[in-house]
Chain A
Amino acid sequence: MTELGTDLPPTADPKPPAKATPVRAIRAVLGFGSIGAIYVWIAIIVLFSIWIPGLFLTTNTVTQILDEYSISAIVALALVLPLSAGVYDLSVGSVMGLTGIVAGALLGHSGLPVVIIVLLSVLCGAAAGLLNAVVVVWIGLNSFIATLATGSIIAAVTLGASGQVILTTGLSGPFSKFASTSVGNIQLPFFYMIVIAILIWLLLSRTVMGRRVYASGFNPNAARLAGVSVGRITTFALIMSGILAGFAGVALASRVQAADPSAGPTYLIPAFSAAFLGATQFRRGRFNPWGTLVAVFMIGTGSQGLLLAGAPQWTPQLFQGVVLIFAVGLTVVAKRDRSK
């Protein structure tokens, strides 16, 4: 029976391990296949530096971009855990709106200290995450549909609770310091974002939990066979994204000093774009915090540049779409060529 194998040339021994020369190592880390988005980002910076040097090349632009996009980045980071675990969380936008309104309502109607109000609001985000976990893990619905549904429910509850108005009472007081205090010219959310990214990075790359999150996402059956309780991992990931999205919602309300029940959903699509673009960077095929941050700020830089250059209102959105295709494409094509 073994003759059947002879139709193929004798299988060569697997190639001897490629010598890990420094050049090769550097290429692996700095090549388009690994960090295509960073090159695109640099290209964008160069482009606007030539186009509108006076307006673009200022520290003001830098702080504006960091302040403007740090909250978007936190929402995108919130998605990294559930996406790594193989589930969607489409409710993050609604959860942002919910926690903003909860904070606004508490500020208007209770005399609780700001710290407690922030904690309670974020806790509502955690509760929303738990609701997602109940529907996804315990009832067993597909996460895309389940979180679409819970997102819709949460958005409705938020709208009802707010009385369909933007809450501002009490938001301009000490609460606004939570997100608008500047340290070295940069507002606090940027630093929150950095801390969250570091924590997620540590969790995903250094801990048992993180390894199990990736295992559940890549191949839940193999993970189960290896003793991972995939349901528990999914629950954890969804609660974490609820907490982080909730945190982003509170930070947004604090930064703009207003709780808008419909503020959240606009963050959803850019956050997903960033998380998916991020997954093509640094750690091939894995959702990861640093890739996600690069994606957010690459898009942010371009959008801000276009606004400074006086481009029409619709161009940043167009730019987002084009850049997403371009940056992901660059990475995918580079990887394909290398594997040939």
Chain B
Amino acid sequence: MTPSIVLDAQHVSKSFGHVLVLDDVSLTIEAGSIHALIGENGSGKSTLIKVLSGFHPPDPGAVVLVDGVHLPMGSPTDSAAAGLRFVHQNLGLIDEMTVLENLRLTSDLDQRALAPTSHSRDREAHALLERIGVKLDLNAQVGHLAPDERAAVAIARAIDDSHGQMRLLVLDEPTAAMSPTEVERLFAIIRELKSSGASVLYISHRIDEILRLADTATVLRDGRMQGHFSTSAVSRSELIGRILGADQDEAPPAAHRVPDAAGTATCLDVARITGRFLRAAAFQARPGEILGVAGLDGSGRDELAGVLGGASKAEVDLTTAAGGSNGHLTIASARVLGIGLVFPNTHPASLIAEFTVRENLCLPILRTTSRRGFISDRSEKGVAANWLAQLDIRPREPDKQLQELSGGNRQKVALAKALEQRPAVLVLDDPTSGVDVGARRSIYEIIRARADDGVGVILCSSDIEDLTSICDRVLCFVAGQIVAELQGADISEQAILNNIMSENRLSPGGVHT
């Protein structure tokens, strides 16, 4: 007899308006196994999960069986009653509450108001945590826990059986904000669950994690199923090929420029950066070059821009043409060193939504647009008119409130704000996030034009397209260190993914390629 099937979903399609987001997807999970669902952002993973959780009703024709029993679609209550439990990426915890209070939120631990003494409640909560092999102080505030401990609380809450038995635990990208050691500890929890007989559906885009953790995997791309694999029988590269699709190699040649020669001048020499994720990373940037920085969340890629711009704290030892810094960079000292930072327009500290375009542009340079403390309207208008024209920011109204602009135009304002300070090193963090396709192209042109003017550009991005489209050199970060440096024609989506997902290649003490 074949092993029993805990979840059998067939012919799941989902369209929003005219767009088919899921196209006849099927998913079969054996009881007691860890099954992975892999795909890039936008591949349909989250939509499939939302269909299973009852949040989105699927298009007609879908059949979902849980333990062989037909699951009514489109009802979160029915999904929960059938034993499907979900831990979403943001975990849904309340940081200001304690572990116990969070566990009680959805469970029965506190509902039999009269009966249980706090002692027996504690015991039940401990038992829940014990099932996943975790010991936590029940009175600790959840906001103070490490990322893996927070995940543990969310999982413990999900597996609580007081509303009926759990059949399948669905974990949606639980490792997004975790360091490698924290990921290990989470994996231990998941394996513990498996050994107790539970079935797990694990959603991720990190291939190495999946190969290590899961028994079987389903790949999604553009809403279509790309196959069902046993992780012991599939190779990394085959899996990556499935995720990206076969046509990836035919992508238009990128506009990389190979630097003239090694040993050209540097405009930024980083001897060492150590921060929350970064571990003694060292690199150099050259004037006229666009240096890409790739890495998963938590690899240090996401931390680097803020550190170089003085916005987040880290131990830094670096030199630019304007001088050096050894210790902590501040916003002011980064500015003196000629480093300009541009956060993505979706970042809350990037721009002031309530300010006009002009006010946003001029905020860092008020000293030059004012005389004796009084702002000169004329010089502000001059600055604004210049940038509105130069970067083609629309509408051409300097006194429009920033929040009335589109994402792409906001991003251009953020760029202009930094460029007005004439940085020698321009550090960009996810410059195309929240930006549509057309604006993306013009932002690439702006960046390239600056590099041509001799600015050293450092482009940190979670969007591989940014890196393959305009970067001359790409540093791949894993676990806070640079594991590979790609140049010119070597820069491809596949090469970048291969490197940034290559946590296995890290030897404990050091890193070199």
Contacts and interface: CB of A to CB of B under 8 A. Distances in A.
Interface of A: 1-7, 11, 13-17, 206-209, 211-212, 214-215, 218-219, 221-228, 285-286
A215 B363 contact: yes
Q: Which of B19, B352, B359 has the most chain A CB within a 10 Å cutoff?
A: B352
B136 interface: no
Contacts of A221: 348-349
B222 interface: yes
B406 A14 contact: yes
B367 A219 contact: no
Nearest to B251: A1
Contacts, number: 95
B373 A13 contact: no
Contact of B349 (A4, A209, A225, A227): A225
Given A2-B437, A7-B18, A211-B366, 5 more contacts: A1-B40, A7-B17, A11-B406, A14-B405, A224-B331
Contacts of B465: 1
Q: What's the interface size class on B, roughly?
A: 35 or more
Nearest to B17: A7
A226 B364 contact: yes
B350 interface: yes
Contacts of A6: 19
Contacts of B343: 225
Given A11-B438, A14-B394, A208 B367 contact: yes
Chief secondary structure at chain B's binding surface: loop
Interface in B376-407: 394-397, 405-406
Nearest to B223: A4
A15 B352 contact: no
B42 interface: yes
Nearest to A4: B42
Contacts of A285: 354
19 contacts: A6-B19, A14-B395, A14-B406, A14-B409, A17-B395, A207-B370, A207-B374, A211-B366, A212-B366, A214-B354, A215-B355, A219-B354, A222-B349, A222-B352, A222-B363, A224-B331, A225-B309, A226-B364, A227-B331
Nearest to B463: A1
Contact of B436 (A1, A5, A207, A209): A5
Nearest to A217: B354
Contacts of A218: 352-355
A15 B409 CA distance: 13
Contact of B332 (A214, A219, A227): A227
B311 interface: yes
B351 interface: yes
Contact of B352 (A1, A11, A13, A219): A219
Nearest to A3: B222
Contacts of A7: 16-19, 21
A229 to B, nearest CB: 9
Contact of B353 (A206, A219, A223, A286): A219
B409 A211 contact: no
B395 A206 contact: no
B437 A219 contact: no
B449 interface: no
A206 B311 contact: no
A208 B40 CA distance: 47
Nearest to A221: B349
A198 to B, nearest CB: 14
A17 to B, nearest CB: 4
Nearest to A7: B19
Given A14-B409, A208-B366, A211-B359, A219 B348 contact: yes
